[in-house]
Amino acid sequence: MPENEKTDFITVPDQGLFFVPLGGVGEIGMNFALYACDGSYLAVDCGIGFAGDGLPGIDMLLPDAEYAARVSKKIKGLVITHAHEDHIGAVGKLWRDLKCPVYVTPFAAEMLETRLDEECLLGRVPVVVVNEGDYIDLDPFEIELVSMTHSIPESSSLLIKTRYGSVFHTGDWRFDDAPVVGKAPDYKALKELKSENILALVGDSTNVFVDGDIPSETDVRDSLTEVFARARGKGLIVTCFASNVGRLESIAAAARENGREVCLLGRSLWRVEGAGRAAGYFRDYPFFLTDDEASGYTPDKIVYVCTGCQGEPRSALSNLSYDVGPVRLKKGDVIVFSARVIPGNEQAIANVQNRLIARGAELVTAKDALVHVSGHSGRKDMQKLYAFLKPRTAVPVHGEAAHLHEHADLARASGVKNVCLIADGDVLRLAPDDPETVGKVKTGVMAVDGKKIIPLNSSVLRQRRRMIDDGTVVATVVLNDKGEVLGRIQFSAVGLIENDSDEFAVLEDAVKAALSENAEYAADDKTVSDAVKAAVRRVVVETHGRRPMVDVHLVRV
């Protein structure tokens, strides 16, 4: 929303059933939503977003929880659909605003524990562990966890029952008839859900542009087995999303078929491995190797699994591309990119891949073999779900504008009567009467800046971006009681002007000239500072073509 746009924010009415997304609509990530029924609230998911290069010093984004904090005493609980960071990663940061029980499955509980510990909340947050298929009674909401397939264990859609009817909140999902982890879809049970009076389907839009059948994770496992066989006698590295437990199982199975052990490189992989074992996964693979343990094997007997599939700096794969870290790349080693490219990461991934190729590596990507499938439903699965549930209303979420509009068209083509395109903060009335957006609550994006949480549009971030783009100059000026300059004017322009440059003399002459022109205002600190800033900025624009931030230290003696 533009800064100069005025919005009359409302409070959600105390009568009726409403959907209020606070994150995850219009972007991919930061999933955080409220359902309101007759004055009581249910929170669903609480995830982070990832900052791009345009936000220096910021690694994590959060949805603005101000409205949730306002109604926290009415929130009956927070239900997490699955353990991906964009659905669970903000719980530790925002729980103090919510102060409600958190309902998670066993694997998600293990993943959440570290996040709560980081925020000194371990043991203070009431965490309730539930299982797929369970019912959660949070009057006036009754929630059924409907088991769905995804790229992480125990992903559930939520059937949210109220006196007005039911909402099917999909979370992240797909139909995989042969998953490596978890159960195959229960199509019979899904078909029977249409008898639940499905008022609305609030649905994932991530893969709405993907046509046709999406292969199973079992197909990926078989393909990886063939890829590993072709790499016989060579060093072998696979990079994937750390949270993809099914993919780790597939890699381990393919490695075993080819007489190799698996070594994990990267803290996030070991974190997921620990959570997975605690929740009962990896039973067929009693151990994975550390890099120290793997050093006792020849390279052709190991598969290294590493983080960094999105080109992240300081990841295990990035270190490998720079020839640093415990594992060193050899010419002819095979590196398998077993992950999709997240939009916006193309250049970072290309940079890592080019460094790897320059070091003599052979790359295998999804263009070369079936080494990755998405955990999100394509068009065919989405159409099938609409046919099963026959909802009266479709609410596309979890996507950017193009995804939401395409999902809306698909829902209409699937025979859905009402399709609601909304944005973060919109208050969508689902019942009684036809669905309608009745207002907006305050929302936005927050940035985690070290130990602080600040608005994304804060002046601090604007200034930081400007400093990086145009540099900064600090001028120290000493004036006597007559407003005359004493001694030399001192300048600092780190990253803009060399320390021994003659340009500082030019800056000094310009500043002195500007002060002499404003001598009659020399007693006013602001006027003096403005004159110095204007003079410095004018010189730098002329010499460097940049408009730096200028800070003036004014000393009077």
CATH code, 194 = 3.60.15.10
Asked, for residue 338, whether it belongs to a domain, the answer is yes
Q: How many whole angstroms separate alpha carbon 472 and alpha carbon 467?
A: 6
CATH code (residue 503) = 3.10.20.580
Q: What does the pLDDT read at residue 2?
A: 46
Q: Domain check: are 233 and 105 in the same one?
A: no
Residue 178 sits at φ, ψ, to 5 deg, of: -140, 65
Regarding whether 436 and 491 lie in a shared domain, the answer is: no
Local structure of 346: helix, strand or coil: helix
Out of 43-57, 378-392, 506-520, give the one with best mean pLDDT. 378-392
Mean pLDDT computed over every residue of the chain: 93
Q: Is residue 41 part of a domain?
A: yes
Residues 384, 267 share a domain: no
Residues 153 and 263 reside in one and the same domain: no
Same domain, 286 and 431: no
Structure confidence at residue 5 as a pLDDT band (50, 70, 90)? low
∠ CA 214-217-220, nearest 5°, is 95
Q: Based on the domain organization, do 21 and 159 belong to the same domain?
A: yes
**pLDDT tens per residue, range 175-230:** 999 999 888 888 998 999 988 889 999 999 999 999 988 999 999 999 999 999 99
**Among 217, 58, 206, 88, which residue's Cα sits nearest to residue 155?**
88
Q: Judge whether 466 lies within some domain.
A: no
How far, in Å, CA of 346 to CA of 405, rounded?
24
Asked if residue 316 is part of any domain, the answer here is: yes
In-domain check, residue 118: yes
| 461 within some domain | no
Judgement on whether residues 331 and 394 belong to the same structural domain of the protein: no
The whole-angstrom separation of Cα 498 and Cα 370 is 52
Arithmetic mean of pLDDT, 291-311: 95
- Cis bond before residue 140 (omega within 30° of 0): yes
Instruction: Determine the residue type at 368.
Output: D
d(CA 333, CA 342): 25
Q: Which of 344, 364, 384 is the endpoint of a domain?
A: 364
Residue 18 contacts residue 141 (beta carbons within 8 Å): no
Domain with 296 in it: what CATH number?
A: 3.40.50.10710
- Domain hosting 394: range is 17-212+375-455
| Confidence at residue 450, expressed as pLDDT on a 0 to 100 scale | 85
Same domain for 47 and 136: yes
Last residue of a domain, one of 424, 455, 486: 455
For CA atoms 202, 408, 192, 166, the dihedral sign is positive
Say how far apart CA 168 and CA 529 lie, in whole Å.
Answer: 60
User: Is residue 355 located within the same domain as residue 407?
Assistant: no
pLDDT of residue 297: 95
* Residues 353-399 pLDDT 10s: 999 999 999 999 999 999 999 999 999 999 999 999 999 999 999 99
Task: State the residue for tokens 């890099």.
Answer: 291
The answer to whether residue 3 is domain-embedded is no
- 193 DSSP assignment: G
β-bridge partners, 311:
none
Do residue 21 and residue 97 come from a single domain? yes
Q: Which of 411, 431, 455 is the last residue of a domain?
A: 455
Tokens of 181: 């982890």
| 164 in the same domain as 23 | yes
83 and 193, same domain (yes or no): yes
* Count of the separate structural domains present in the chain: 3
CA–CA gap between residue 240 and residue 261 (Å, rounded): 17
